Chains A and B, each alone.
Chain A
Amino acid sequence: MTGPYDRAIVPPDRPSDPRGTGAVLKGRERAVQVPASFDYRRATSVAEALELLRRYGEEARVVAGGHSLLPMMKLRLAGPELLVDINDLHELDHIEQAGDELRIGALTRHRTLLESPLVGRCFPIVHDAEKVIADPPVRNRGTIGGSLCQADPSEDLSAVCGALHARVVIRGEGGERVVPMADFHQGPYETAVGVGEMLVQVRIPVLPGAGSAYEKVERKSGDWAVAAAGVALTLREGRIADAGVGLAAVGAGALNLDAVQELLNGREPSEALYEEAGRLASAHCSPVTDGRGSAEYKRHLAGELTRRALRRSVARARTAQGTTGEA
């Protein structure tokens, strides 16, 4: 190792405090948060990225926005030998309607999602969530693919994509496979993406007369959720259909709450139904006590936020059916 960080904070061939600030230097040990050494390659094509991922196997990670991965590398929670930078793969940065689904490239940034009228019209839940995901500078860098691949049970877009019954496209040497969101996360920080593969697209069904909403409680602007709930549904002859309910920050495995979805499908919207759905959601999650709140409080939130998201989803679905789309 020969890098400056292995010896001192400042390279030894440089004066130790060029501006005389004394803030960092003077031989004082300061816990500089710098990742361990790794190799870096900027991919110029998806094929090249896949080839690198195949060659380095488990030791390679894809980096796009880097706002989840780099902090983990600083904390030594991740230590890849190779970072494959996909920021130049503009083909993965797209939002397009194809038949009855919206296709979103993995490299699409949070900001692009938030500023897309098409996304807002089809899936108001995405705009609800994007407004409260981190903050504007982070949203300028972070991507939908990175968010989903992080597989953090507290991450918002995963719950959103779960509620929307999204499917993700994983590309590898042998071609592409399409995986439902419910099967994509295989546990905290584990996804269905295998060695030599990468997520390239998210596909979300566009349903007529749909309504959706995301409700999040956070400690401060831009923070991770204390708890959050996403709901998507359609109304057919006054009854709920295609219900999707996904929770964030209340334990893994809550991206699709089957029990709540089954309860809702075929039923007429009512406060009593929302009450029952909230109770079920609250029962079917596994929050833990931490600095953001007690397990009991989070369980309460899971129920209440599910009720609120249901109310707004139904209202939006009615508006969508009454007019031609705007919620």
Chain B
Amino acid sequence: MRITVNVNGEDRTREVEPRHLLVRFLRDDLELTGTHWGCDTSNCGTCVVLMDGEPVKSCTVLAVMAAGHEIRTVEDLADGDRLDPVQQGFIEQHGLQCGFCTPGMMLTGRALLDRNPDPSDQEIREAISGQLCRCTGYLNIVRSIQWAAREQAAVAAPEAPATATATGGRA
């Protein structure tokens, strides 16, 4: 089947079998290997991408089902050399060690902040509850997303004190 999927703002057309999974379409056909491929059973969540702005597990979405929809992957988070606040947050708060879960975690963080710019600790934990991290114990991931929330708020209201660079957050 010939499908066109809007990936990171660009229409990408490919010939695929109906059984081709979205994660394979992104990684193999478009060579966007930032989306990771883990358990393949919709448990681990490392393959999370945004479909029409919301997190989905791309190992359990057929590429043909994504046709006509907007997919956003980790490759689209940074604007040129400028990192997304969520990406910067993962650096500032050591939100990763091995990095395998990181693309999915950052996309979920992005989608959460787009809907809820000031999430509570509990709301962040709930948002990432479908994604496994075996390195951080999640604490630093929560802090990273909190850091991004503060950074965004500081940028949006420049007269406010620049708390975004303050150390850590309660988690």
Contacts and interface: CB of A to CB of B under 8 A. Distances in A.
B42 A71 contact: yes
A70 B62 contact: yes
A38 B18 contact: yes
A37 B17 contact: yes
Contacts of A111: 54
Interface stretch (B81-89, B123-131, B156-164): B123-131
A136 B1 CA distance: 30
B19 interface: yes
Contacts of B62: 40, 63, 66, 70, 83
A31 to B, nearest CB: 9
B57 interface: yes
A19 B24 CA distance: 14
Contact of A5 (B19, B31, B55): B19
A134 B60 contact: no
Interface string B141-164: 000000000000000000000000
B48 interface: yes
Contacts of A10: 28
B26 interface: no
A14 B130 CA distance: 33
Contact of B57 (A19, A39, A137): A137
B33 interface: yes
A19 B31 contact: yes
Q: Which of B40, B64, B65, B67 has the most CB of A within 10 A?
A: B65
B55 A137 contact: yes
Given A135-B130, A138-B130, A14 B56 contact: no
A222 B31 contact: no
User: Which bucket holds chain A's interface residue count?
Assistant: 35 or more
A198 to B, nearest CB: 17
A195 B68 CA distance: 29
A230 B18 CA distance: 38
Interface string A142-186: 000000000000000000000000000000000000000000000
A3 B129 contact: no
Contacts of A221: 129
Contacts of A11: 28
A18 interface: yes
B113 interface: no
Interface string A228-267: 0000000000000000000000000000000000000000
B129 A136 contact: yes
Nearest to A4: B17
Contacts of A85: 64-65
Nearest to B33: A19
B45 interface: yes
Contacts of A83: 18, 62
A38 B19 contact: yes
Contacts of A38: 18-19
B167 interface: no
Given A136-B130, A138-B57, A71 B41 contact: yes
Q: Which of A19, A35, A63, A87 has the most CB of B within 10 A?
A: A35
A19 B34 CA distance: 11
A34 B33 contact: no
Interface of A: 3-5, 10-11, 14, 18-19, 21, 24, 32-40, 42, 63, 66-67, 70-71, 73-74, 83, 85, 87, 111, 134-138, 140-141, 221-222
Given A4-B17, A67-B42, 11 more contacts: A5-B17, A10-B28, A34-B20, A36-B19, A40-B62, A111-B54, A134-B130, A136-B129, A137-B54, A141-B57, A141-B60
Top 9 closest pairs, chain A to chain B, by CB: A135-B130, A40-B18, A137-B55, A3-B17, A33-B40, A35-B19, A140-B54, A137-B130, A221-B129
10 contacts: A36-B19, A38-B18, A42-B64, A85-B64, A134-B130, A136-B130, A137-B45, A138-B42, A138-B57, A138-B130
